[in-house]
Structure 1
């Protein structure tokens, strides 16, 4: 079993971690912090896709800008109020909350036990940057898998307005289609991580979806899979520019720092997480901000930092340990560290922000809020693919389920991996207390550790209540 990272250096596109890491590199990796436990209740017995049963709420920062965002988003709140048959709750959250304060805010303000669970919103839209509404708040809401969370991350207020106008126009269009096309694209630069990603992720997922469509279980208007030759930006823009709503799944390297590092925080925020297409070609925010780019669609963007960059990577302590033990060359760790946010300020990537703000762009983007690895969807120990995990998310989207509910499927696998991983650590503790040697389960534990961290960092950007297509009446 080896671990491969989808991160390329800006400029030359060389993989930051060139040699796949062995499973043994995860021996002694730190036990993850527990996933947040559900301390509040929702209407779990009701239809999860129904806002009338599950409700929708907005969270804005408790600042002057937050008040302005509340006003800008009021037309969307009115639309969701129509759907759920009651006024939308708006919560004003303190900025920069740590984990403890985030838990207190969620438990005491958003979901107090003094109210019935039927009054608690499962669909939650966070409107603000990671500095305004902290990642800890987002993790508290999503960690137990009960809440369907999306984020509008725009730094420009006019982008919030453009997004709202786009969503409302789509949802009120009487001629809204009931089917969407499904596109599966690998930006092939011939590096080992991308070749492996196409073989073990993109290709199996596309094949499963195509076979499901033939059996009537994946109601897309068509399924297309392509390996984009290096540098073929034109082909990507051509496919994404078609007027029919599309579900776009792409796998590529995400752009990280060049060997000399980023010149400024502004440059990093503009370029990090952009889509590397090979042959020194990059898909940038400027190129998806205007003109048709997946109009009314949903984009699953599989790449390092595709959704954004946290203040500190969850993988950082492990990688530092690898260097100390000689399993990773120090220059590879330095290459990864150059992509840490300057001034320790976390941020959402510019590329999905621009796509969402585009009036002819997608309604939602699913991406990774950290480094992205391919092993969460492929078990190299057995050769077994876990493409079914992605298929479940994508099938829900083409069936017309809300985006937040569709992404929720991944949280189940994260919780399962977390439980299994904790059993291993508990077995070690029991063996140690009795003077026995722990059972050697290096590869299984390594796989669970990576799977648990990787899956939990997929993030929905956009309103979690949007749909790719209308659901047929049942």
Structure 2
């Protein structure tokens, strides 16, 4: 079992982690903190796709800017109120909440026990950057995946207005298509990481989606699977620029810190997480901000920092431990650390922000808010593919289910991995307490540890209630 990272150096595009890590490197990895467990309930017996039964709510920063954002987002709130048959709840939240304050806010303001679970909003849109609404609040709301959370992270108020106008216009368009294309693309730069990613993720996912479509279970108008040759930005823009809505899945390296480090925090925020296409070619925010780029579509962007960069990677303590134990060269850790935020603050990547702000762009982007590893959908212990999980998420989107449900279909696997992983640590503790020896299950534990962290850090940018296409009447 090897662990391969989808992160390329800015400038030359060399893989940041040159040598894949082994399962043995995770032998002493620290036990993760427990996943947040919501103390509130929703209408779990009701149709999960129905806003009338599940509710939709908006969270804005409790600031002057937050009040401005609430006004800008009012047309979207009116649209959701119409769907759910009641006024939308809007919650002003203090900026900068830590986990304790976030938990208190969620429990006391959003989901108090004095209200019936039928009135609790399961779909939640956060409007604001991480400076406006903390990542701890988002993490607390996400919890075990039962709450369907999306974030609009724009810094410019005009981008919120553009996004709202796009979503409302799409949903009110009586001629909106009932089918969408499915595009599964690998940015093939011939690196070992991308070769493995295509072999174990993109190609089998495309085969499963095509087979399901032939049996009537994947209702896309077409399934297109391609390996983009190095530097072939034109082909990507051609496929993404068609007027028919599309579900786009891309696998690539995300751009990380250059060999010399980022010159400024502004440069890092502008370029980190951009899509590396090989041959010194990068898809940038400027190129997806204007013109047709996945109009009315949804983008599943599989790359390091595709959605953004945390203040501190969840993998950082583990990698520091590897250096101390001699299992990772210090220069490789230094190379990875060039992607840490210069201002020690989390930020949302510029690329998905620009795509969402584009009036002719996608309705939602699903991406990684940390490092992304190949083993998310491939079990290296036995060579088995877990792309059935990816297929399930993609299928829910082409079937017209709301975007938040697609992300939830992935999140539940994190909860399962977390439970199994804790059994391993508990067994170790019991064996140590009784003085018994226990044969280490290195590869199984390593896979569970990586799966738990990797799947947990997917995030949805955009309204979790949007649909790729209208669902057919039932």
TM-score in terms of structure 2 length? 1.00
1:425 is matched with which residue? Answer: 425
Secondary structure in 2 aligned to 1:342? Answer: coil
Secondary structure in 2 aligned to 1:344? Answer: coil
Aligned-pair distance for 1:458? 0.3
Task: State the alpha-carbon separation in 2 of the partners of residues 58 and 243 from structure 1.
Answer: 30
Task: State the alpha-carbon separation in 2 of the partners of residues 419 and 38 from structure 1.
Answer: 16
1:301 is matched with which residue? Answer: 301
2:362 is matched with which residue? Answer: 362
1:50 is matched with which residue? Answer: 50
2:445 is equivalent to residue 445 of structure 1: yes
Task: State the alpha-carbon separation in 1 of the partners of residues 454 and 439 from structure 2.
Answer: 25
2:326 is matched with which residue? Answer: 326
2:208 is equivalent to residue 175 of structure 1: no
Task: State the alpha-carbon separation in 1 of the partners of residues 37 and 153 from structure 2.
Answer: 26
Alignment of 1:14-413 (within 5 A): 14-413=14-413
Task: State the alpha-carbon separation in 2 of the partners of residues 417 and 121 from structure 1.
Answer: 27
Superimposed CA distance per residue, residues 72-93 of structure 1 (whole angstroms, 9 cap, x where no aligned partner): 0001000000000000000001
- When the two structures are aligned, how many residues end up with a matched partner? 474
Superimposed CA distance per residue, residues 101-146 of structure 1 (whole angstroms, 9 cap, x where no aligned partner): 1111101110000000000000000000112111111111112211
Superimposed CA distance per residue, residues 157-205 of structure 1 (whole angstroms, 9 cap, x where no aligned partner): 1000000000011000000000000000000001111110000000011
Task: State the alpha-carbon separation in 2 of the partners of residues 406 and 312 from structure 1.
Answer: 27
Aligned-pair distance for 1:418? 0.2
Task: State the alpha-carbon separation in 1 of the partners of residues 320 and 131 from structure 2.
Answer: 26
Secondary structure in 2 aligned to 1:397? Answer: helix
Task: State the alpha-carbon separation in 1 of the partners of residues 80 and 155 from structure 2.
Answer: 23
Task: State the alpha-carbon separation in 2 of the partners of residues 282 and 143 from structure 1.
Answer: 34
Task: State the alpha-carbon separation in 1 of the partners of residues 250 and 411 from structure 2.
Answer: 21
Confirm or deny: 8 A CA contact 2:61 2:128 kept in the other structure.
Answer: yes
The list of structure 1 runs, each at least 4 consecutive aligned residues, that deviate by more than 2 angstroms after superposition, is none
Task: State the alpha-carbon separation in 2 of the partners of residues 254 and 63 from structure 1.
Answer: 34
Confirm or deny: 8 A CA contact 2:38 2:141 kept in the other structure.
Answer: no
TM-score in terms of structure 1 length? 1.00
Aligned-pair distance for 1:406? 1.5
Secondary structure in 2 aligned to 1:226? Answer: strand
For the aligned residue pairs, the C-alpha RMSD in angstroms reads: 0.5
Aligned-pair distance for 1:438? 2.9
Confirm or deny: 8 A CA contact 2:144 2:412 kept in the other structure.
Answer: no
Secondary structure in 1 aligned to 2:359? Answer: coil
Confirm or deny: 8 A CA contact 2:370 2:457 kept in the other structure.
Answer: yes
Task: State the alpha-carbon separation in 1 of the partners of residues 329 and 225 from structure 2.
Answer: 36
Aligned-pair distance for 1:439? 2.5
Task: State the alpha-carbon separation in 1 of the partners of residues 438 and 310 from structure 2.
Answer: 34
Task: State the alpha-carbon separation in 2 of the partners of residues 346 and 35 from structure 1.
Answer: 20
Task: State the alpha-carbon separation in 2 of the partners of residues 409 and 6 from structure 1.
Answer: 22
Secondary structure in 2 aligned to 1:79? Answer: helix
Task: State the alpha-carbon separation in 2 of the partners of residues 359 and 412 from structure 1.
Answer: 33
Aligned-pair distance for 1:38? 2.4
The runs of 5 or more residues in structure 2 that have no matched partner are none
Confirm or deny: 8 A CA contact 2:187 2:252 kept in the other structure.
Answer: yes
Aligned-pair distance for 1:375? 0.4
